[in-house]
Chain A
Amino acid sequence: MCIGIPGQIVALHEQYRDRAWAEVCGMRREINIALVSEGDPQRLIGCWVLIHVGFALSRLDEQEAQETLAALHAMEEVEADVAMFLNAGETR
């Protein structure tokens, strides 16, 4: 019910200030941007947003997304080190 889908704003609506065009899974559709648009809406072009029932509800912070992934990858690397260390220990 509360699930949203990420999309990228590609153009503003020709007529209405609170609407824009977003690309979602390669499809273009109209969305309402009233809840993410502060100041000049031009600044939204190229931004990723989370879309729920036709509304952009949050700007998707690409840096935070990358940092979460980087943290997860870092964990994997640490684990790999530990695994190598333990394996080396066993063979000795």
Chain B
Amino acid sequence: MRFVDEFRDPQLAKTLLERLHQRARQLPFSAEKPMQIMEVCGGHTHAIFKFGLDKLLPPQLEFIHGPGCPVCVLPMGRIDACCEIAAHPEVIFCTFGDALRVPGKRGSLLQARERGADVRVVYSPLDALTLARENPQRQVVFFALGFETTMPVTAVTLQQARRENLTNFTIFCQHISLMPTLRSLLQQDDVRIDAFLAPGHVSMIIGTAPYAFINHDFGKPLVISGFEPLDLLQSVLLLVEQVCDASCKTENQYRRIVPEQGNLLAQQAMREVFQLAGDSEWRGLGLIEESGIALTADYASFDAERRFAPQAQSVVDDPRARCGDVLTGRCKPHQCPLFGSGCTPHNAFGALMVSSEGACAAWYQYRHREEAPQPQRAAG
């Protein structure tokens, strides 16, 4: 496909890797203490594992798979609240497919459907809006989930609903903002991140300016990257060259999609519909200041939680799962005691196994057979 195949050229990848290995030898890092590069995008995490990019890196470099997948950081209590709303007989509950199997304390939305709830998978929030028009006697709720990439899409959908005076359409708002989380990670003493690969499609909306604090306040280089193997390798090379040259700035490798100022129409739609709403809980990371998003006063009547008032659910993550440690680079997925036994993609116990973009699920899919410990043989 156009602009996909070109960015997968194996010969170019080989050249890039040679350059990367050469430059990495000049880094003030070693195999014992590698430069830790955090990617904060589930799409990047998946691509890194799918193409085996982490195994191609020079020994002086290492990826940390940060909190870049909105499904992975979705607290269990929020799923319980969704299931409670979905159980109302008049409700058609619409969700992206990614969230269908995420377990709450009392099961997933899929299990709620098996119990009789009308839960439907939609491709776009506009599909949910169509359902609301076609079913005026029902209440249609859209599970609005995601970072700044999906937020403007929800915003435009709500603007449309408001223009049409639809009174049977609401959203369950689980939008979250990425930047407060990056700040929170950088403020933790025992987390070492040397550089960031920033998400291409979040950046296409917000632009490059919001990342400046990472350079100025924390002295970490950052490159906004595309999703193809060559994009990611080139972005890593740009980070390495910044460190070698003692430079620290935000660079935009994904210029074919990401304008410097972002998408101004999208930013305007987001400002009209959403506002920052104090602290928000992230699964695996706990409460993060000023990372929550809520509807503005003009759009408050589209808030499903206001309409259905589900019980507030607080579910503590099981202490045996080391999701938080994986998200912050303190351990690798297979070093978690539950990995591959108590926690698999088919029976996910922890957050990062839930979505295919989670670090644990990607590790399981692409690495498990090679690197998982094999207790029987070890015992024998």
Query: Which A residues form the contact surface with B (CB < 8 A)?
Result: 1-4, 6, 25, 32, 34-38, 48, 50, 52-55, 57-58, 60-62, 64-65, 67-69, 72-73, 75-76, 79
Taken together as a complex, chains A and B put the C-alpha atoms of A78 and B293 apart, in Å, by 48
Of A54, A57, A68, A72, the residue contacting B204 (CB under 8 A) is A57
Taken together as a complex, chains A and B put the C-alpha atoms of A60 and B9 apart, in Å, by 20
Do A79 and B15 contact each other (CB < 8 Å), given the known contacts A4-B201, A6-B2, A6-B4? yes
Q: Contact between B201 and A50 (Cβ–Cβ < 8 Å)?
A: yes
Of B41, B156, B227, B258, the residue contacting A58 (CB under 8 A) is B258
User: In the complex, which residues of chain A have a beta carbon less than 8 angstroms from the beta carbon of B12?
Assistant: 72-73, 75-76
Q: Contact between B269 and A35 (Cβ–Cβ < 8 Å)?
A: yes
Which of the segments B249-257, B332-340, B345-353, B368-376 contacts the partner chain? Answer: B249-257
Q: With an 8 A cutoff between CB atoms, is B301 at the interface? A: no
Q: Contact between B204 and A1 (Cβ–Cβ < 8 Å)?
A: no
Q: With an 8 A cutoff between CB atoms, is B98 at the interface? A: yes
Q: With an 8 A cutoff between CB atoms, is B321 at the interface? A: no
Of A25, A34, A64, the residue contacting B255 (CB under 8 A) is A64
Taken together as a complex, chains A and B put the C-alpha atoms of A74 and B272 apart, in Å, by 45
Q: Contact between B126 and A52 (Cβ–Cβ < 8 Å)?
A: no
Taken together as a complex, chains A and B put the C-alpha atoms of A79 and B218 apart, in Å, by 35
Q: Contact between A36 and B3 (Cβ–Cβ < 8 Å)?
A: no
Q: With an 8 A cutoff between CB atoms, is B361 at the interface? A: no
Taken together as a complex, chains A and B put the C-alpha atoms of A32 and B155 apart, in Å, by 13
Identify 14 new A-B residue pairs, CB closer than 8 A, beyond the known A6-B1, A37-B265: A1-B70, A1-B98, A1-B150, A35-B269, A38-B265, A48-B2, A52-B150, A53-B96, A60-B256, A61-B259, A72-B230, A76-B12, A76-B15, A79-B18
Q: Contact between B150 and A61 (Cβ–Cβ < 8 Å)?
A: no
Interface residues of B in 1-36 (CB under 8 A from A): 1-4, 6-7, 9, 11-12, 15-16, 18-19
Query: Scoring B residues 258 to 302 as 1 if CB is less than 8 Å from chain A, else 0, what string do you get?
Result: 110001011001000000000000000000000000000000000
User: In the complex, which residues of chain A have a beta carbon less than 8 angstroms from the beta carbon of B66?
Assistant: none
* Nearest CB of chain B from residue A70's CB, rounded to whole Å: 11
- Residue pairs across A and B with Cβ atoms less than 8 A apart, 18 shown, are A1-B70, A1-B149, A2-B43, A2-B150, A2-B201, A6-B3, A34-B269, A35-B265, A52-B153, A53-B124, A53-B153, A54-B123, A57-B153, A57-B201, A57-B205, A60-B257, A62-B256, A79-B15
Of A34, A64, A72, the residue contacting B16 (CB under 8 A) is A72
Of A54, A65, A79, the residue contacting B256 (CB under 8 A) is A65
User: In the complex, which residues of chain A have a beta carbon less than 8 angstroms from the beta carbon of B6?
Assistant: 65, 69
